[in-house]
């Protein structure tokens, strides 16, 4: 896995997310601590050099400061430091990141993959997969499942508090679930789950995993 490329794409997609929303909401939705946590994990896994992690995080801070998204600078340790803090690295603005903040790009739909015939078990519920939308900055899984008591809220509840969604592709990119929603009609609840970031051009397969009380199920789907 190319940790540097993954982290830089994660930052770029995150800064540009929420196109059309108020800037205050977009700013609040960007979790700088999550980015730092991902960097720490990549360094620990040997996928990213400490020097590269420090440089990327320093560049992010400078870019956010100059765009008005980071007003208070805190002295922080190196991305991998576990004891004494190190000297703070001086970063440089990334023009592509500033552009993502100030003029977020419109997500581009690459293609839609039919998943008809595939299923995914979530506890007592078997979901029928419908499709995977592959966008430039995220992917969207659509699936359906039956409800017998005409109360979609009760069935949907099984998919929320104790259920964790995640994914990874054949290039090593990790995907985070970023919410979803559904509608019910004709005895079916059709649900959508969004995962970020978008896949790289080299990725060919995406594995989606759902963890629920008492078990886990996975499904491998093509990205193109």
> Which stretch of 5-9, 88-92, 101-105, 110-114 has the lowest confidence by average pLDDT?
88-92
98: number of Cβ within 10 Å? 17
| Rg of the chain over all Cα atoms, to the nearest angstrom | 19
Q: What pLDDT band is residue 10 in, cutting at 50, 70 and 90?
A: confident
pLDDT recorded at residue 82: 46
Q: What pLDDT band is residue 191 in, cutting at 50, 70 and 90?
A: confident
Q: Is the pTM of this model over 0.85?
A: no
pLDDT recorded at residue 140: 95
Residue range 186-195: average pLDDT? 85
**Domain 109-222 grouped into CATH 1.10.3470:** no
> pLDDT tens across 53-74, in order?
999 999 999 999 998 888 754 5
Rounded alpha-carbon distances, angstroms, from residue 10 to 23, 36, 93, 119, 166: 19, 11, 17, 29, 15
pLDDT recorded at residue 159: 52
pLDDT recorded at residue 156: 53
Q: Domain boundaries in the chain?
A: 3-102, 109-222
Residues 75 and 54: their CA atoms lie apart, in Å, by 13
């Amino acid at each position: 896995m190319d940790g540097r490329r993954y982290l830089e794409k994660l930052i770029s997609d995150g800064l540009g997310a929420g196109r059309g929303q108020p800037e205050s909401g977009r700013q609040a939705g960007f979790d700088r601590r999550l980015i730092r946590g991902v960097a720490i994990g990549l360094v620990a896994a040997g996928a990213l050099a400490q020097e590269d992690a420090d440089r990327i995080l320093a560049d992010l801070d400078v870019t956010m400061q100059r765009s008005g998204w980071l007003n208070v600078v805190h002295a922080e340790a190196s991305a991998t430091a576990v004891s004494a803090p190190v000297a703070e690295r001086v970063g440089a603005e990334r023009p592509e990141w500033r552009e993502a903040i100030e003029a977020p790009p419109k997500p581009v739909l690459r293609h839609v993959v039919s998943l008809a015939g595939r299923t995914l078990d979530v506890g007592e519920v078997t979901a029928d997969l419908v499709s995977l939308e592959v966008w430039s900055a995220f992917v969207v899984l659509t699936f359906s499942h039956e409800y017998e008591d005409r109360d979609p809220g009760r069935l949907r509840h099984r998919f929320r508090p104790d259920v964790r969604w995640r994914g990874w592709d054949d290039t090593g990119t990790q995907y985070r679930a970023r919410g979803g929603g559904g509608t019910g009609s004709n005895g079916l609840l059709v649900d959508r789950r969004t995962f970020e970031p978008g896949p790289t051009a080299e990725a060919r397969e995406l594995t989606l995993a759902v963890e629920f009380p008492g078990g886990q199920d996975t499904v491998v789907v093509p990205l193109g």
